[in-house]
Structure 1
Amino acid sequence: MPDFDSADDNATASTLISVDAGCASIAGRKPVNEDAVQVSIPEAEYALTTKGVCLIIADGVSSAEAGQEASQYSVRTFVEEYYRTPDTWSVKHAGQKTLSSINLNLFKKSHAFTHQEKGFLCTFSGLVIKSRTLHFFHAGDSRVYRFRQGELAQLSRDHTVNIGAGKSILSRAVGMDNDLRVDYGKAPIEEGDILLLTTDGIHDFLTSDELVGVLASDENAQSLCDTLVARAKAANSDDNISCAIAIVQHLPHESRDDFNTKLTRLPFPPHLEPGMKLDGYRVEQELFASSRSQVYLVTDLDTDQQLVMKTPSMNYVDDIHYIDRFIQEEWIGKRIDSEHVVKIIQQNRPRSCLYYLMEYVPGVSLERWMKNNPLPAPKLAIGLVKQIASALQAFHGMDTIHQDLKPANILVDDSMHIKVIDFGSVFVAGIAEVFIPIEHIGALGTATYSDPYYLQGKNTGIQGDIYALATITYELFTGGLPYGEKIQDCVNSRDFDKLRYHNANRHNPIIPLWFDRALEKGVTLDETYRYRSLQDFLQDITHPNPGFLQDDPQVDNSRSYFFWQIMSAFWVLMLVLVVFLFSNSG
């Protein structure tokens, strides 16, 4: 039986980076500490090798009134999101895309408080130590230094503008604009190097010579941080005082077959058969196969845990855009945390081929479930809809749109618990150029459930996912589609203009008018009238909206006209009957 196990699984301390790191932060003379600082050294060897060590520092802009929230969010989120990025991404690519997402989120928060003059702004300096190289990302006036053999070098530059009278203002900060211009740099490092991050509460009050005097002492990283903070406080620093330090103790040996190069050139795995082994996973069966990918049920031979492995199709082995999108699916999945979204499994072993792992969810697709359970009880159907909406809220909370929500991408287990799967069409706000990198023939979504605007090249954001959810809700309650099967043949706006909504109670007469009108609003082809939030849609399908109980001239008038026709005919018949009886009695 073929075995594709990787032989390179004997990582030793000599191949790993080792640093002594520490950090310190105090409010100083200020009542609130708006600085944030964090050091992250992965325990797992694989993460330490593929991602490295992170040191992050941020200084909230006090005049923005939400500087503390901004700095804490930026530091915490960068560390979380950076380690979730694909192993195949370079440090530069991963850091810049992570920061772009953070920046957009803060910018949107600032605009949500426009009338209250509450802005979410902070400086940011991040350092990643990977292999034998340091990488830094910088915006604002916090600083990045390297201390080597008695020489202190400032690697970052201050983003400030002198406005006279000895005063300056920030010209760049995270959250200041919807498009963040971040400085990126990298430099080789040596064993014994000391890397230092500071906010202006330190470097505005301690000279370079004073910094050198502290760093040259034979102390560990945490002691150096504590000493710098104490010295700045003694120097009458009137700002928050923060720093982070990493002392490089050991660096991995350089290799002619660099690990990062191997990652970015992973081959496609061959078609896998039951019994084959790949990187410590045994293939049990093929669950799904298409022209674009294959999905297998596998067993982790170390833990005996069953997982799902997704592999790229050999049809796209030379398509770099397809490869990029496949790699990003894993990252997108790692960012979404919900009990109703399938979880991506963190890799702890080197990969010899391109694939990623997901949790195994026993069950069937909602598509098959609906065929086996036509017109389920309303309470059961609403319960499924609420779970799907919860999954979408997890996506939207990360500024992410699923864009291909359909019954085939939703799993239902025996307990009626659902999981949304498939991240192949996802759109992430702020970094859209990554996720739609090429012109696609047709759209990524599925015509039956995808927003017609999206299928015509326009992204309607959350409204597109609401359209898909409303369509699925319609199908659960009726067994049909809101515009019938013809929607699958539509290719342009003229085709969509010919479509007419099919009232849900034509398929299922027990559906009340208010529920049908909520569905119609959810799938309307005019986005200006469509729901703008999932909460509003859920409210209207679970509680009668009084506005939907009023007469609709386009619907109810025709029914009223029909009613009066019947009544008129009835009275004519009664009149004829009376005349007949009267004439007979005479």
Structure 2
Amino acid sequence: MDRARHFSATVATHTDKGCKKQFNEDAVGFNIPDDDLLKTKGAVAVVADGVSSAEAGREAAQRSVSAVLKGYFQTPELWSVKHAVQKTLSALNSELYELGRDMPDEARGYICTLSLVVIKSHMAYLFHAGDSRIYRLSARDGSFAQLTNDHVASISDQKQYLIRAMGMDTTLNIDCSTLEVEEGDIFYLDSDGIHDFLDDERIREIIESHPDSFDQACQELVRQALDAGSDDNLSACILRIDALGVEEKADFSERLTKLPFPPELYPGLKLDGYEVIEELWASERSQLYIVKDQTSGKELVMKTPSASYVDDPAYIERFIAEEWIGSRINDPRVVRIIPPRNGSKQFLYYLMEKVPGITLQEWIAENPEPRPSVVARIILDIAAGLSAMHDQQIVHQDLKPGNVMIMADGKIKIVDFGAVYAPGLQEIFNPFEREIALGTLDYADPSYRFGLNTYVKGDIYSLAVIAYEMFTGGHLPYGKKMERCKTLQEFHDLEYTPSYEHRDIIPVWFDQALQKGCHNDPEQRYSKLEDFIYDLQHPNPDFIKEGRTPSGVSDTVFFWKALSFFWLSLLLAVLVLWWAT
């Protein structure tokens, strides 16, 4: 295998109950998955030490190692390592804590320490709770350093107790850190049955004395700790990175350019079993065509890259990522990616379902004064589609009326993955500088233009601007003033125009929710999509201020009643559906 393209590691583990324990309450393991999962999730090594004073420490350690080695790899590939591990460990911690609560009063629960390292791309991600440890023997300078802190408190010189561990409390308090790694780096994990009886220098000497057999090194560490008087269980894991699998520019470009760009397409042309019907849309960066599957007769949408970027690996990577990310979203309010016929294709493009209808941009132009209940339903549907993306840790980053389709039945589809952000993919090393998505000026978070990623807050901003525009009949919260801004501070200083100045029936509390949603300063904005939607549905007492009585008071009451009726109808429909199932 090409060293530059494939991760490889030498890894060994050994665990022993020791000479004074009836059972081995430690657990240790590792998982280096196949190539695809290795790229998106990484390689993992883990040590857990069941707390001896806990009745079920042994079971806790075994469950913890199993959860890491299995559960972590079942989390979505688009999640960041930190998010995926924390989700896995939080669920595990709750499980252990609840199991412990069900035990007799005299028992002390399912409690264990946990130390794990994830190697993904060129980074190591460390997670730790308790007094097991992670060390690194650096290939760069030969240093041997402890990377974790022991979570213990001392009662005396001879007596310590744990202050953090898995299953100890309802909430998980775990250390997280990252560091860049190099080929030849060695990570060493152990339980306190070893490092409490062998100093760091002796551990290092044993590891370095067995470069060709880490199995022997692990066994020697256990043996010497026992000789030094260890009265505990003993576990060791050694992992050496032999090849990171990080691609050089030439390898990266070669892989990305295996599929050629399609030729110029025109109606009647046949490509990979699809007949081009018409060009739907074109820009400087890509084209959309309606095509017909010659086998099924079904019409689809084909997106093709612009020939202007044929020599741009960063552009090609993002184009390929669009299809990969989109195919992992399964929600009726998000456009569906269609796999190619026979699972392969001869050119670089991807296929989507054809969405009949008009864009929200066109809908707004045709409906200058829509009923509040209709607008509310559309906003709720868009929010639900965004929520499905956010559940996968995907941020759209270019939500605008032109990227939302309204179908004949009033339902919506979010389209276009050209600017999406997925942290799990961002963690994978790229030798080229990645493009920064800027979005569309009137709808995208201004922070994007200055290289700042506000993640979910960015999509909340866009949704709030769209809601403002729909409820005010086509106006924007900052008008055209954003075009004059050159610095981030100038964006932050822009004056928001209250929505009720455009439409008197809009209540103050509703406008305040819109203003907070599209605040140009991310620190002043909602941090959760559900909080924004909740405040659009329920008058927030903090937003009800004295001193403003709209001229159309009766209209404002009508607006609130109309929305209230819609929310109530929606709730009743959900309850009926729930009861029927």
What is the TM-score normalised by the length of structure 2? Answer: 0.58
Residue number in structure 2 paired with 1:503 = 498
Q: Does 1:281 align with 2:274?
A: yes
Q: Does 1:422 align with 2:421?
A: no
Residue number in structure 2 paired with 1:106 = 85
Map Cα deviations across residues 176-212 of structure 1 (whole Å, 9 max, x no partner): 7453768999xxxxxxxxxxxxxx9xxxxxxxxxx9x
Residue number in structure 2 paired with 1:341 = 334
For 2:527 and 2:124, the matched residues in 1 are separated by 36
For 1:368 and 1:483, the matched residues in 2 are separated by 21
Residue number in structure 1 paired with 2:297 = 304
TM alignment of 1:113-124, pairs within 5 A: 122=116
TM alignment of 1:52-71, pairs within 5 A: 61=48, 68=63
The answer as to whether partners of 1:74 and 1:102 remain within 8 angstroms in 2 is no
Q: Aligned in 2, Cα 1:353/1:377: closer, same or farther, shift over 3 Å?
A: same
Q: Residue type matched to 1:102 in 2?
A: V
Residue number in structure 1 paired with 2:199 = none
Indicate the SS of the match to 2:520.
Answer: coil
Residue number in structure 1 paired with 2:450 = 456
Q: Which runs of 5+ in 1 are unaligned?
A: 1-27, 42-46, 83-97, 127-134, 141-157, 163-168, 186-199, 201-210, 212-237, 241-259, 558-586
Q: Does 1:292 align with 2:291?
A: no
Residue number in structure 1 paired with 2:178 = 179
TM alignment of 1:6-155, pairs within 5 A: 61=48, 68=63, 72=67, 75=70, 78=73, 101-107=80-86, 122=116
Q: Residue type matched to 2:372 in 1?
A: P
The answer as to whether partners of 1:474 and 1:482 remain within 8 angstroms in 2 is yes
Q: Does 1:493 align with 2:503?
A: no
Q: Aligned in 2, Cα 1:123/1:464: closer, same or farther, shift over 3 Å?
A: closer
The answer as to whether partners of 1:101 and 1:429 remain within 8 angstroms in 2 is yes
Residue number in structure 2 paired with 1:447 = 441
Indicate the SS of the match to 1:335.
Answer: coil
Q: Aligned in 2, Cα 1:55/1:468: closer, same or farther, shift over 3 Å?
A: closer
Across the two proteins, how many residue pairs are aligned to each other?
421
Q: Aligned in 2, Cα 1:181/1:306: closer, same or farther, shift over 3 Å?
A: farther
Q: Residue type matched to 2:457 in 1?
A: Q
For 1:81 and 1:37, the matched residues in 2 are separated by 17
The answer as to whether partners of 1:268 and 1:353 remain within 8 angstroms in 2 is yes
Q: Residue type matched to 2:292 in 1?
A: T
Map Cα deviations across residues 149-170 of structure 1 (whole Å, 9 max, x no partner): xxxxxxxxx98779xxxxxx99
Q: Does 1:265 align with 2:264?
A: no
Match for 1:365 among 359, 362, 387?
A: 359
The answer as to whether partners of 1:365 and 1:408 remain within 8 angstroms in 2 is yes
Residue number in structure 1 paired with 2:511 = 516
For 2:304 and 2:339, the matched residues in 1 are separated by 16
Indicate the SS of the match to 1:361.
Answer: coil
For 2:117 and 2:323, the matched residues in 1 are separated by 30
The answer as to whether partners of 1:389 and 1:534 remain within 8 angstroms in 2 is yes
Aligned-residue CA RMSD (Å): 5.3
Residue number in structure 1 paired with 2:536 = 541
Indicate the SS of the match to 2:388.
Answer: helix
Residue number in structure 1 paired with 2:545 = 550
What is the TM-score normalised by the length of structure 1? Answer: 0.58
Q: Does 1:398 align with 2:415?
A: no
The answer as to whether partners of 1:71 and 1:123 remain within 8 angstroms in 2 is no
| 1:60, distance to aligned residue in structure 2 (A) | 7.2
Indicate the SS of the match to 1:274.
Answer: coil
| 1:121, distance to aligned residue in structure 2 (A) | 5.9
Q: Residue type matched to 1:271 in 2?
A: E
| 1:375, distance to aligned residue in structure 2 (A) | 2.5
Q: Residue type matched to 2:178 in 1?
A: D
Stretch moving more, 329-338 or 353-362: 329-338
The answer as to whether partners of 2:124 and 2:180 remain within 8 angstroms in 1 is no
| 1:522, distance to aligned residue in structure 2 (A) | 1.1
| 1:269, distance to aligned residue in structure 2 (A) | 0.5
| 1:540, distance to aligned residue in structure 2 (A) | 0.8
The answer as to whether partners of 2:125 and 2:176 remain within 8 angstroms in 1 is no
Map Cα deviations across residues 71-126 of structure 1 (whole Å, 9 max, x no partner): 547646647866xxxxxxxxxxxxxxx7x833443257769999999998656799
The answer as to whether partners of 2:49 and 2:112 remain within 8 angstroms in 1 is no
Residue number in structure 1 paired with 2:311 = 318
| 1:450, distance to aligned residue in structure 2 (A) | 0.9
Indicate the SS of the match to 1:299.
Answer: strand
Q: Which runs of 5+ in 2 are unaligned?
A: 1-16, 18-22, 52-59, 98-110, 127-132, 138-144, 149-173, 185-189, 191-214, 216-232, 236-252, 551-581
Q: Aligned in 2, Cα 1:180/1:368: closer, same or farther, shift over 3 Å?
A: farther
| 1:303, distance to aligned residue in structure 2 (A) | 3.2
Match for 1:328 among 292, 314, 321?
A: 321
The answer as to whether partners of 2:319 and 2:418 remain within 8 angstroms in 1 is yes
Q: Residue type matched to 2:84 in 1?
A: N
Map Cα deviations across residues 342-396 of structure 1 (whole Å, 9 max, x no partner): 1222334322111111222212111111111222211111111111111222222
For 1:460 and 1:421, the matched residues in 2 are separated by 21
For 1:316 and 1:112, the matched residues in 2 are separated by 44
Indicate the SS of the match to 1:496.
Answer: helix
Q: Aligned in 2, Cα 1:345/1:516: closer, same or farther, shift over 3 Å?
A: same
For 1:481 and 1:119, the matched residues in 2 are separated by 53
| 1:321, distance to aligned residue in structure 2 (A) | 1.5
Report which of the two structures shows the higher radius of gyration computed on alpha carbons.
1
Q: Residue type matched to 2:539 in 1?
A: P
For 1:502 and 1:543, the matched residues in 2 are separated by 22
Map Cα deviations across residues 207-226 of structure 1 (whole Å, 9 max, x no partner): xxxx9xxxxxxxxxxxxxxx
For 1:311 and 1:513, the matched residues in 2 are separated by 46
Q: Aligned in 2, Cα 1:81/1:467: closer, same or farther, shift over 3 Å?
A: closer
For 1:297 and 1:281, the matched residues in 2 are separated by 10
Map Cα deviations across residues 446-490 of structure 1 (whole Å, 9 max, x no partner): 110011222232222221111111100001100200011222343
Q: Aligned in 2, Cα 1:556/1:286: closer, same or farther, shift over 3 Å?
A: same
Q: Residue type matched to 1:338 in 2?
A: D
Q: Residue type matched to 2:376 in 1?
A: I
| 1:68, distance to aligned residue in structure 2 (A) | 4.4
For 2:305 and 2:379, the matched residues in 1 are separated by 31
Stretch moving more, 385-394 or 338-347: 338-347
For 1:66 and 1:336, the matched residues in 2 are separated by 34
